[in-house]
Structure formats: structure tokens, C-alpha cells
Amino acid sequence: MLPIYLASSSPRRSMLLEKLGLPFTVVVPRVEEGVQEALPPHQLVETLALRKARAVAPSISKGLVVAADTVVVWHDKVLGKPADTREASEMLSLLSGNEHEVYTGVAVIEKPSGRRVVTHERTRVKFRPLTAEEIARYVATGEPLDKAGAYAAQGLGAIFIAGIRGCYFNVVGLPLARLAQVLKEFGVDPLEYVQNN
């Protein structure tokens, strides 16, 4: 099996990739996460995921570089990671009682061939109405400050989620079903690996 390199500093993505049962090495990409041009959400996350994968690929002689990028979208407004507690509160106020979308771009580059696959996943998430006190107390925990959309579906933010349509793992930051299908295009089948090891 080709070695797998996860181009991410996110402990959540490492935790999710571990669920596939495949061995991998984390390599933190050194990239700017912003883009100059205005892009639709699916193109934005694909562009950023590919940028991360390309940043790591030159340091790999053989294997698959896997990268991802996630954004939350409310009424066509992209909500990335909040800059501070005020912005986190504003984002949660927007999401309160509303449905929003979570997009994650996934990029896989094979070395040394340079072959690549770039795709994305979209999930719809519905928040229950939140009170100002709930928002303030949640922001005070610090959990929202490094999360797209200012919440963690796998953490305390789960108590705000009334429903999810689509891939839950996408909301956490790595759509596992989509990634597994992409890996199979490169001859890496998680089920086959687990059965043989």
C-alpha cells in the first residue's frame, strides 16, 4: 500500500483518518488559508485543500498526500474560524434557529506521478434557537475559537444541533465516505487493508 501523508495540523482530522484503519504520517503544511478572489464555497474549499496538499507534496518522494479544508456557509456568507470572541458570538447568533451548510474540500496527490483528485462534500446542519446567555457561555469555554462557524459538532457545540442532513464526519472536518472512495481510485481500500493486517 502507498504511504499516506495527512497535510493537516488538525487533531480532529487525524482522529477521523484513524477511523479508516490506515497508517498515516502527519505533515503540517505551511500555507496561507485565505484566497484573494471570491469563489463559490465548493470551489473555495477545493482550492484551499489542493493548496495544502501541494505545499506538502514536494517533501514526499512516494505516497499519497491527503488534505482537506472546511467552511461553514450561511446564506452565501462563508464563516471561517472566528478572529475573536466577539466574532464567534456574531457567527453563533447568525446560525441560531437556522439551517446552514458545511463544505469540506478534499485533495489527494499521488507521488511521484503527480496525479491528483480534488472533490468536496456538502452537509446541511440545523441549529435550534440559542439564547444570548447560551452563546456567551459557550464562547467562554474557548471551544468555538478555532472552529469554522464557531462551533464543534463533536464537542459541546453538539447541544445546539437540531438535525443534520448528509455526512456527519464532513461537519467535523473530514468526510470519510468521500475520502475512502477517492483513496480507492489510487488502489487503497480501507476494508481490504484492515482485513489483511
- The rounded Cα 59 to chain-centroid distance in angstroms is 23
Nine-digit cell at 118? 480534488
Axis crossing angle, helix 85-95 with helix 132-140, rounded to the nearest 10: 140
The catalytically annotated residue of 69, 76, 146, 189 is 69
Nine-digit cell at 130? 440559542
Nine-digit cell at 62? 512516494
**Active-site residue, 76 included:** no
Q: What do you get for the CA distance between the two ends of the chain, in Å?
A: 11
Amino acid at position 164, single letter: I
Report the distance separating Cα 139 and Cα 125, nearest Å. 19
Residue in the structure block whose three cell numbers are 474557548: 142
Instruction: Return the beta strands (E) in 75-158 as ranges.
Output: 77-79, 99-111, 116-127
Q: Catalytic site residues?
A: 69
